[in-house]
Structure 1
Amino acid sequence: MSGIETSPSSAPAALQYSKDDGIADFGDFVRDEDEELDLEEVVEPWTKYSIKETSHVFYPVYVGEVLDQRYLVEHKLGFGGFSAVWMAHDLQSNRDVALKVMSSGEWGEHEIQIQNKIIQNVQDTSHLVTYLSTFQLSGGKRQHRVLVFPLMGPCLYPVILTGMSMVSRMSAAQQLLGALENLHKAGIVHRDLTDRNCMWGMAPLHTLNRSAKYEALGRPLKQIIPFVELWKQGELVRPIQVPEALRTDEFYLGDFGLAMKLGDSTFQRGYPPMQFCSPDRLHNKEPSFACDMWSYMVIFSELYLGHPPFPTFLKGGIISGVVRCLGPLPEQWKGLYNHPGGLDYWYDQHQMSDPKHDLASTIACYRPDADSVEREHVQSVMEKVFHYFAEERLTATQLLQDPSFRAIMDKYGC
């Protein structure tokens, strides 16, 4: 990509860095095309910052910038469809925080509203990531809501489970179910329960100087946002990598951008990624606690198996994988599928689940080390939630009390 600054020495003069620790060290600019391509794989598309490409424009931020005269941006945490999340040091409280900088539009205000409902109505929020404070940024004739959160650890990605003990994994499953129960008791449906929205805790870093933080989390690799005429400086930055030594076993549920009070007719439209979305929602059924329970069981399966329970590579995508494992969808759902690529055989009641790929076979394949009693308990738990009809799925409270679920948790000391 031509025309992009590729070294710290060529950074524009407009970059004014804080002199914290007496050293203006805020990472490294990409040096060559290979580093640019590597960076492109892990950062948000530059189009997120272009008013020509989207009406929900991202706010440009650079490492070393101080936001709201208080938060020194030190690294990048990640991004989503409507926000970028930055690691910052609170200069007033001397604590590290996460800044969720929302895109322009209504998403930020909706998240504030639902977060307030959660804080006011959920009795136990100890495993829910709720905001500490909020402020607004103005620029480019747009307003951007910023939510300040506690700094969390890594999200649940299958790769992170490699080498992680089953005790830690099942503890996470239990903590997440408890968090979901508390949310549901307050009448709130999450609607976007995915591995990216579940995260472990992280040991505090605020006593470390910036160099030590970068040694632990990786130095920011960055480039000036290309191809867009921005009103202020901004950077694309490679996110942190949290080492296992810093991860704690506390597990949390966050990102309530799609959450809603059950029965609220003004909720935000949207779906979780298809591999976490219940089949009924993909057939125009209304959001419900049961939809969250399907998503939870996908995450439970990832934690237990180390892999997603249903493949996505078959023709027709995730639903073909679900049908291969569980059998045909209800016949009355035919014609209601709300995504392209639906297949008639999904609803053929003469089809059966594939015995080589049903739940029992899937569990045996991924967990050959587990004894038959344990595998039977896991299959029982999955079967009680992986129902096509929402009303047949166990609730969070029921699953926490289920004998098979309790047997699994007891085995791993949870």
Structure 2
Amino acid sequence: MALLHCRLAGLRNLSRGRRSFTTTPSRLATQVKTAQQLPFPKIKSKWDEEPVSMYRQGGFHPTRLGDKIGDRYLVVRKLGWDVYYTVWLAKDLSTDRHVALKILEDSCYSGKPELLELSILRHIKTADPSHPGHSRILHMLDNFEHRGPNGKHVCMTFEPMGHDTLVLSNKLEDYQLPVGAVQELARQLFQALDYLHTRCGVIHTIDLKPRNILMDINDTEKVIRDYLLATQARGIQVQSRDCHLVRSEYIPTELPQYPNQFRFKLTGFVVSCWVDKHLVEWIQPAALRAPEVILGADWGPSVDLWNAACIFYELVTGDILFGGVALNANEQDLDTPDAKEHHIAQMIALFGPLPEDLVREGRNRLDYLGSDGKMATSRVIMPRSLAGKIKGFRPDMTDEEVETFESFLLKMLKYRPRDRKTAAEMLKDPWVRVPWE
């Protein structure tokens, strides 16, 4: 399948510092004001932009500023890229408004008469607009095909959005968002997931991660006009006559003063699937992967809840719950068998032994476990509590706050998929009740 070659990359460094935050509105305003004064992340290596090798037959479309795509969209800035597409800020000449234009590489879907992503995006836009979760999803505005020197490219347009939550957390000293902001994000993400699972029959799966939870922008057109007037697009010198890279730039995003002013939308449906029709079986970012996926057992909508719990933990603590790293300190690939085995060992250290029935269902169980279903002695990690990990990174939180947050996470971090709470049930959890209510 064409999508199997598309690898997810770019997980953050596993080491994290510490920073104290309180969650009361009066203190949060001061914290956010300080965060607004911090510099934006700078380009740190050549891999912060797409490799030139991706511009080839079957690869990326060589897009330049000023290009007109689809006879309607004028490219004015580059917003970013991923392993199978680039994203551009473009002016819709038919409406005189700006859009985010995603241009997919040709080989990602070559030969497919209909994209599963397109079907899903069209369905979730119309399934039930009255559901609260409908407005928490970034919906597709337009789609078309564009022919270029490297092939035929599927293009989609979306409403321009602000920072993703990864960039947002990177603007803060220790990668820790105010707890109230994460509570508001959780509320909105649960609404989106409940809509996908119960109204649309869709599982988000592989790309549910901080980079695909985006902040809304107030007065979008004014922000973009001011941004375009104040900045000039920058190119990057590369050793190729046939390729001109453009530096990615974020649309400026002002952080709200209070948690209830945060507004997020969920995106990243490239390899989402129907509940009853899976696109691939090996899903999720490595560090967020659910136990049933690693073991090769059956999975369903509850994988999104496991993902969500890992995201909330990361945004509150600045730490990755399951690094999945190998014992070799130089190991960087989180998808090696060594790393997956260590990932399971980390789970066992936090939650105890894997249930026998889940292990029996796992088609990959012998890759990581002995014939008796137990972890090899050399891989055993000393047990520790989730509360202890939280307190270690957030000493500012009271014991009661830590206990409530731990209880909240554990309802989604159950080994057996059937034991996890649904998104609708999680909306009723005490931790989601924000401080000002």
Q: Would the TM-score normalized by the shorter structure come out above 0.5?
A: yes
Q: Secondary structure at the match of 1:99?
A: strand
Q: Deviations over 1:173-209 (max 9, x none)?
A: 1111111111111221111211121111123453367
3-state SS in 2 of match to 1:132: strand
**In the alignment, is residue 213 of structure 1 matched against residue 241 of structure 2?**
no
Q: Does 1:188 align with 2:190?
A: no
Give the structure 1 partner of residue 344 of structure 2.
319
Aligned to 1:29: none
Change in Cα spacing, 1:169 to 1:297, as seen in structure 2 (3 Å) is same
Q: Secondary structure in 2 aligned to 1:256?
A: coil
Q: Deviations over 1:45-76 (max 9, x none)?
A: 2222223xxxx511111122221222221222
* Aligned 1:14-413 pairs, distance under 5 A: 38=44, 40-51=46-57, 56-105=58-107, 107=109, 109-123=115-129, 124=131, 125-140=134-149, 142-157=151-166, 158-160=169-171, 162=175, 164-186=177-199, 187-192=201-206, 193-207=208-222, 212-213=227-228, 215=230, 219-223=232-236, 226-227=239-240, 234-245=243-254, 249-264=262-277, 267-268=279-280, 270-315=282-327, 316-317=338-339, 318-331=343-356, 333=359, 336=362, 342=368, 347-348=374-375, 354-355=382-383, 357-401=384-428, 405-406=429-430, 408-413=431-436
Residue identity opposite 1:194 in structure 2: K
TM-score, normalised by the number of residues in structure 1? 0.77
TM-superposed deviation, 1:214: 6.4
SS at match of 1:41: helix
The structural deviation recorded for 1:250 is 0.8
1:138-188 per-residue CA deviation (whole Å, 9 max, x = no partner) reads: 123621110000001111214245474332222111111111111111221
Change (3 A) 1:239 1:339: farther
Q: Is there any run of 5+ residues in structure 1 with no aligned partner, and where?
A: 1-36
- Aligned partners of 1:285, 1:334: CA distance in 2, in Å? 9
For the residues of structure 2 that align with 1:281 and 1:209, how far apart are their CA atoms? 41
Distance 1:132 1:78 in 2: 19
Relative to 1, partners in 2 of residues 1:279 and 1:298: Cα closer, same or farther, differing over 3 Å?
A: same
Task: Determine helix, strand or coil for the equivalent of 1:126.
Answer: helix
Specify the code of the residue in structure 2 equivalent to 1:249. Answer: F
Q: Which amino acid aligns with 1:354?
A: M
8 Å CA contact 1:387, 1:393 repeated in 2: yes
Q: Distance in 1 between matches of 2:290 and 2:75?
A: 38
Shift of 1:409: 2.8
Stretch deviating more after TM superposition (323-332 or 337-346): 337-346
After TM superposition, give the deviation of residue 131 of structure 1 in Å.
0.4
RCO higher in structure (CA 8 A, sep ≥6): 2
Larger displacement relative to structure 2 (346-355 or 374-383): 346-355
Distance 1:212 1:289, change over 3 A: closer
3-state SS, counterpart of residue 102 of structure 2? strand
Q: Cα deviation per residue 1:275-322 (whole Å; 9 max; x = unaligned)?
A: 122111122223311111100111121232232222333424333433
Mapped contact 2:183–2:433 kept (Cα < 8 A): no
Q: Say which SS state the counterpart of residue 284 (structure 2) adopts.
A: coil
TM-score normalised by L of structure 2:
0.73
| 2: CA distance, partners of 1:269 / 1:142 | 28
Distance in structure 2 (CA, Å) of the matches to 1:360 and 1:383? 10
Which string of whole-angstrom CA distances, capped at 9 and with x for unpartnered residues, describes residues 323-363 of structure 1? Answer: 332233345638957599846598339998734x4201111
Q: In 2 relative to 1, CA 152–335 (structure 1 residues): closer, same or farther, beyond 3 Å?
A: same
Q: Which has the higher mean CA deviation after the structures are superposed, 38-47 or 289-298?
A: 38-47
Contact 2:176 2:317 in 1 (8 A): no
Matched position secondary structure for 2:263 = strand
What letter is aligned with 1:379? E
Q: Is the 8 A contact 1:328 1:346 kept in 2?
A: no
Hey, what's the Cα distance between the residues in 1 that align with 2:291 and 2:262?
A: 31
Equivalent pair of 2:184/2:434 in contact (CA under 8 Å): no
Partner of 1:24: none
Structure 2 runs not aligned, ≥5 long: 1-42, 328-337
- In structure 2, distance between residues paired with 1:240 and 1:189: 30
Alpha-carbon separation, structure 1, partners of 2:224 and 2:423 = 42
* CA shift digits 1:95-135 (9 cap, x unpaired): 22111111114648221111112123244320111100112
**Per the alignment, in what secondary structure is the counterpart of residue 193 of structure 2?**
helix
CA distance in structure 2 between the aligned counterparts of 1:208 and 1:305, rounded to whole angstroms: 31
> Residue 133 of structure 1: SS of its match in structure 2?
strand
Root-mean-square deviation (CA, aligned residues, Å) is 3.2
| C-alpha contact 1:314 1:321 (8 A) present in aligned 2 | no
Would you say the 8 A contact 2:309–2:413 is kept in 1? yes
Between the aligned partners of 2:52 and 2:141, the Cα distance in structure 1 is: 29
Letter in 2 for 1:278: A
